[in-house]
Amino acid sequence: MAVRKLKPRSSVGLYCLCFLFVASSSLMLGPEDSAPGEDSETIFREARRTMIERDIARRGIKDQRLLQVMATLPRHLFVPEEMRSSAYHDRPLPIGAGQTISQPFIVAFMTELLELKGGERVLEIGTGSGYQAAVLAALVEEVFSVEIRAELSARAERILKQLGIQNVKLRVGNGFHGWAEEAPFDAIMVTAAAPKIPSPLWNQLREGGVLIMPLGKPGHTQQLIRARKIGGRQIIEEHSAVIFVPLTGGTQQ
């Protein structure tokens, strides 16, 4: 398969590691910072506003639909209750099973790289908390999300139902193999790292489609790439240094 690499077209977050704490995170609001008499929803709403202004829009994210979605979506519902005071800090948080919810900027950055218009069918590999799927669901026609850990998929399903999100289909399985029965997809987002693009996922991407994922070895700095399918070839752009958990299962096939 022919692969052509291009220089990064965006310098936003070029050296952003998704496991770094940013300096501004210590200034974010949480319930512990509330003034007497303030209810938690008011506090979380203000925390979302600050997150958008300080950690996302100010760092170069321009998609207004995306900014509006992340300004209204209750991210705190997707993290364990004991972590909710940190839900709007710009850093990843543990969600159990050795997995994390990505920092808000990385969620925004990866989503914007997909260049979504509104009518797409998107495959997500690595449901995790369900937050990324919820963001995508507000921007596209349909989301198909695969998670290898049944307990995470079940938790994400409960939260999505709680929020009334109906255009996300979840599946427990090995994300390396994608979701062939629902292919082809207009866009694919892989929220875990692998040494190379899994061939089953590439085969499930339509001609002209876009795939976003981190490439590299587990435990090492990886490259967040955008691959366009042009004439069946991989036209790859490198966008940012990141660190993601590894894609589980099948990556050596």
Please check whether residue 253 lies inside any domain of the structure: no
Using CA atoms, how far apart are residues 125 and 149, in angstroms rounded to an integer? 12
Using CA atoms, how far apart are residues 84 and 121, in angstroms rounded to an integer? 31
Known catalytic residues are: 102
- Each residue's pLDDT tens digit, 98-107: 899 999 999 9
Please check whether residue 247 lies inside any domain of the structure: no
Please check whether residue 180 lies inside any domain of the structure: yes
Could you list the residue range(s) of the whole structural domain that residue 61 is in?
3-242
CATH of the domain at 128: 3.40.50.150
pTM: 0.86
Total domains in the chain come to: 1
119 burial level (CB within 10 Å; 0-12, 13-18, 19+)? exposed
Please check whether residue 250 lies inside any domain of the structure: no
Please check whether residue 193 lies inside any domain of the structure: yes
Mean pLDDT score, 66-70: 98
pLDDT of amino acid 22: 34
- Each residue's pLDDT tens digit, 208-249: 999 999 999 888 999 999 999 999 999 999 999 998 988 987
Please check whether residue 52 lies inside any domain of the structure: yes
Please state, rounded to an integer, the average pLDDT across all residues of the chain: 88
